[in-house]
Structure 1
Amino acid sequence: MIRYALKCSQDHSFESWFQSAAAYDALADKGLVTCAICGGTEVTKALMAPRVSGVDAPEPVAAPAPARPLSEPAHPAEQMLRALREHLAKNSTYVGGRFAAEARAMHLGEADARPIHGEAKPEEARALIEEGIPIAPLPILPPDKTN
Structure 2
Amino acid sequence: MARHVYRCPLRWADMDVYGIVNNVVYLRYLEEARVDLIFRMGPTEGDAFFKDGSVVVSHEIAYKQQLAHRHEPVGIEMWVSSLDSATVAVDYEVKDGDTVYATASTVMAPFDFRRGRPRRLTDQETAFFEKYLEERAA
Report which structure shows greater RCO (CA 8 Å, sep ≥6).
2
Q: Normalized against structure 1, the TM-score is what? A: 0.19
Q: Normalized against structure 2, the TM-score is what? A: 0.20
Which structure: larger Rg? 1
Which structure features the higher share of strand residues?
2
Which structure features the higher share of helix residues?
1
